[in-house]
Amino acid sequence: MASTRTQTKPAPARRTAYEVLLRVQEGAHASDLLIEKSAQLETRDAGLAAEITLGVLRRQGQLDFLIEHFSGRPIERLDVEVLLALRMALYQVRFLDRVPHYAAINDSLNLLHAARKASAVAFANAVLRKAAADVEVEIPTGLAVPAWLLEKWTGDFGGETALKMAAASLEVPRLYQHVPAGAEAPFGGRETDVPQCFQTDSPDPRYRIQDIGSQAVVPLLELERGQRFLDVCAAPGNKTAQALEITSQVVACDASFTRLKGMKAVGVPLVVADATRPLPFAPGTFDRILVDAPCSGTGTLGHNPEIKWRLRAEDLPRFAERQRKILDNALEALAPGGLLVYATCSLEPEENEQVTGAIAGRAQREIRRIPGREAGDGFYAAVIR
């Protein structure tokens, strides 16, 4: 089919989304890149770039089903530049209400020209025109996450919860802010089941944006004023800042110098240390310790949707081995009678109860939030005395 359309420059929001999606294919993190690339964009364009990028990643399984349906070709046969341009246009056409179809489709074709994929423009145009026609296509359930993950969650949590978790990974996360004790509520903020955590539609600039799941961890430490607190995996410092509202005796540690450098403004001693090795503190130094361990992040799929397509079952034992070492080393620094909270933003038992279960002779209480069952990101925490 000959194309009669005029070629123009794609809108900045769509160009940014396309660039970010291409980089995510190579292993980059969408949210980090969006922050970096949005600095040069108008606020509205930055919002649309994020909406398209994260929406495409959240709904990748469903979009690929639609591409195969309308093109009659398996997606494996498409070049990545073509696949991403199709996913982007299809997402806007089928899942966003306020974007005109012609703008979404034209810009994806323009992106193909710019990516030197002009030979794919007629094919993409035909697929997208078919997809934009108002035809109902029933998308099979279960495409929200990869089949292996849904199967694993079904085994770990039961079918009903697994489906809720999968469905939750498609949703745009709500915004939450943390308000220090005694400060007034954010303008328009609504109270939640987590103390000092408010849900909001437009953030109050006085307060930090922090997911409700993340905010629920520090209260488990039962921190008291004057207690010595160690945050072992601290960066970017959300939980350190929360703890600092209660005690000033805080030390923040992280393996990443770059990430720790970003915490300078928090104003606590910062220690670069790989906690898989013995920590540079005398045994029994701290009354309270938080191990917010590096993990697969399967509790944060709403915020980090690329994780679900990137993670492999074989990755979990590697995470667990690192987590066990970090927990063992952190326990060495805990004072007698002290309390340690081990937390991850993973939903996988391999990184959670199978790690903490290996500690003998310590009383434990476990807490879990599951997306789709509770609001916000999911996490696991064990309170260890």
Ligand X SMILES: C[S@@+](CC[C@H](N)C(=O)[O-])C[C@H]1O[C@@H](n2cnc3c(N)ncnc32)[C@H](O)[C@@H]1O
Residues 238-277 that bind ligand X (CB under 6 A): 238-239, 254-256, 259, 274-276
CB-based contact 125:118 (threshold 8 Å): no
* Whole-number Cα distances in Å, 168 to 172, 173, 243, 373, 379: 9, 9, 29, 9, 14
CB-based contact 11:47 (threshold 8 Å): no
**Tokens matching residue 336:** 């007698």
Report in angstroms how near the CB of residue 348 gets to ligand X at its nearest. Answer: 14
Pick from 115, 197, 216, 233: which binds ligand X (CB under 6 A)?
A: 233
Indicate which residue of 197, 233, 295, 345 is catalytic. Answer: 345
CB-based contact 110:125 (threshold 8 Å): no
For this structure, is 253 an active site residue?
no
Report in angstroms how near the CB of residue 29 gets to ligand X at its nearest. Answer: 12
Q: Does 180 bind ligand X (CB under 6 A)?
A: no
Closer residue to ligand X (CB): 31 or 154: 31
Task: Return the number of other C-beta atoms located less than 10 Å from residue 35's C-beta.
Answer: 12
CA 109 to chain centre: 30
Q: Does 292 bind ligand X (CB under 6 A)?
A: yes
Determine how β-strand 229-231 pairs with β-strand 286-292: parallel
Closer residue to ligand X (CB): 219 or 236: 236
Q: Does 364 bind ligand X (CB under 6 A)?
A: no
Q: Which stretch binds ligand X (CB under 6 A): 25-33, 129-137, 221-229, 231-239?
A: 231-239
Closer residue to ligand X (CB): 239 or 324: 239
Closer residue to ligand X (CB): 36 or 184: 36
* Whole-number Cα distances in Å, 268 to 221, 239, 261, 327, 329: 18, 13, 12, 22, 21
Report in angstroms how near the CB of residue 237 gets to ligand X at its nearest. Answer: 5
Report in angstroms how near the CB of residue 236 gets to ligand X at its nearest. Answer: 5
Closer residue to ligand X (CB): 130 or 264: 264
**Tokens matching residue 203:** 């953030």
Q: Which of 238, 346, 352 shows the shortest CA–CA distance to 301?
A: 346
Site for ligand X, rule CB under 6 A: 214, 233-239, 254-256, 259, 274-276, 292, 294, 326
Residues recognised as catalytic: 345
